[in-house]
Structure 1
Amino acid sequence: MIEKNVVTDFCSQVSEPEIGSGTYVHPLAAVIGNVILGRNIMVSPTAAVRGDEGQPLFVGDDSNIQDGVVIHALETELNGAPVAKNLYEVDGRSYAAYVGCRVSLAHQVQIHGPAVVLDDTFVGMKSLVFKSFVGKKCVIEPGAIIMGVTVEDGRYVPAGSIIRSQEEADALPKITDDYPFKDMNKGVVHVNTALARQYLASHKG
């Protein structure tokens, strides 16, 4: 389902999602409101990307939004005035939630803005990123909770961790050549871009 949002006191404009070429949104997924999806993205069944409260929501090229993923955000406007604390700036533009290119959001992940996840990062199953900025080439292992922190490029978050202070975030281990999940994201991106391409082709036939 792809549809416009509704007007409220925290959302003064109606927006229609922007869907890039080569992106496939499964009929059982929901993409609503002020959402920008890049190219070659797979949006799987039961995923919800709702730009009807915090906005805009952005997902870059070649990323994937797997089954049950939720991307949503706290309000970024109230009675016509911006709520600056609920926005992050990336490349000179403000976003409620920003997901970069070649990012994998595995099953049942929640990205709740204000939040940023930069390029080539893997977010493992049932993880939460909230009020946080996650750098490039990170791995968030399954079941992790990241709240109110900045995670530097090239770090990994062990499965089940709860990271709630900047001190904890700064102490996260760096990804090294012997880290077993170092290259996993590349395979996940390959699989999901291929799925998007083939599902689109099958619906055109």
Structure 2
Amino acid sequence: MRWAIILTTVLFAALLLGCAAEKGAIEPLETPEEKASNIHANPITEWNDEQTMPDIDPTAFVHPYATVIGDVHIGKYVCISPHASVRGDEGMPIYVGDYSNIQDCVVIHALETRDAEGNPIEKNLVVGDDGKKYAVYIADHVSLAHQSQVHGPAYVGSGTFIGMQALVFKAKVGKNCVIEPGAKVIGVTIPDGRYVPAGMAVTNQSVADNLPEITEDYPFKHTNEAVVHVNIELAKGYNAMFGGESTEGTEGEGGH
């Protein structure tokens, strides 16, 4: 008699568990995609009462292990590599221009651009090439190499290469510049066509104004063009592999 009671209890418990599992499968509270999505809106906060989804061109590629959040624009054929983070939830908006690339473990983020009343914090904004204001503006044909950081307010001009583990913070970097690996650019404006030697920290405008010019014999003069080309091909290839949009020809691929 005791065994019959135990068996009945076990069967009843198994039936309840089965029903619960079946109900959970039919009415999930959250799908796996929602739980693990790497592209999503910013949260509502005291300084921002609107949620914005990233605006990503269909020809761009965002790796599943990269993260793009909030008020972010990603242009044509941009390639965003694994573990990169583009986070438009504090400082916003963030703009990444056409044919640029954001490599492994790059961080793009910014200081708060609105106060608790929703008013813009002008000192934390930069003016983009389109005349609009941004927390971070990355122009076309820019390369952000592995583990580099661009922390707004920041502007990076077209054709510029930001080297591995370099930092740009509260700064403007001009067109066709090279920030060599490990260099730091903080609170200054780098003129067009200059380079910052590896490991150097530029925090004084007079130093920035006297940085060396990029000449024909500069060894990294054409590095960015090659890197941009490779990453456009990667964006097209990964999109084809993952079922996204890819085209044979790429108008405007050349650097500036």
TM-score by length of 2: 0.79
Give the number of equivalent residue pairs. 205
CA distance in 1, matches of 2:182, 2:228: 20
Equivalent position of 1:117 in the other structure = 156
Q: 1:57: which partner in 2?
A: 94
Aligned pair partner of 1:161 in 200, 203, 206:
200
Offset of residue 89 of structure 1: 1.0
2:207 counterpart SS class: helix
- 1:92 Cα deviation after fit: 1.4
Aligned residue identity for 1:47: A
Equivalent-residue separation in structure 1 for 2:127 and 2:49 (angstroms)? 21
Partner residue in 1 for 2:126: 88
Structure-1 residue corresponding to 2:210: 171
Asked if 1:18 is matched to 2:32, the reply is no
Displacement after TM superposition at 1:11 (Å): 2.1
Alignment of 1:1-205 (within 5 A): 1-79=38-116, 80-90=118-128, 91-204=130-243
Per mean C-alpha deviation after superposition, the further-off stretch among 85-94 and 99-108 is 85-94
Give the distance between the partners of 1:142 and 1:204, measured in 2 at CA: 34
Tell me how far apart the structure 2 counterparts of residues 136 and 41 of structure 1 sit (CA, whole Å): 18
Deviation at 1:3, TM superposition (A): 0.3
Higher RCO, Cα 8 Å, sep 6+: 1
**How far, CA to CA, are the matches of 2:139 and 2:56 in structure 1?**
15
- Counterpart amino acid of residue 177 in structure 2: C
Displaced runs of 4 or more, over 3 A:
none
What amino acid is the match of 1:49?
V
Structure 1 distance, partners of 2:165, 2:47, is 28
Task: Give the deviation of 1:10 after TM superposition.
Answer: 2.1
Secondary structure of the structure 2 residue equivalent to 1:197: helix
Structure 1: give runs of 5+ residues left out of the alignment.
none
Deviation for aligned residue 1:157: 0.4
SS of the equivalent of 2:153 reads strand
Pairwise CA RMSD of aligned residues? 0.9
- What residue identity is the alignment partner of 1:14? Q
Which runs of 5 or more residues in structure 2 are unaligned?
A: 1-37, 245-256
Give the 3-state SS of the residue equivalent to 1:82 in structure 2: coil
Q: Which is richer in helix?
A: 2
Taking only the aligned residue pairs, the percentage that are identical comes to 56
How far residue 86 of structure 1 moved from its aligned partner, in angstroms, is 0.1
TM normalised by structure 1 equals: 0.98
**By how many angstroms is 1:21 displaced?**
2.6
Q: Which of structures 1 and 2 has the bigger CA Rg?
A: 2
Deviation at 1:81, TM superposition (A): 1.0
What's the offset of the Cα at 1:163?
0.2
Q: CA deviation at 1:9?
A: 1.1
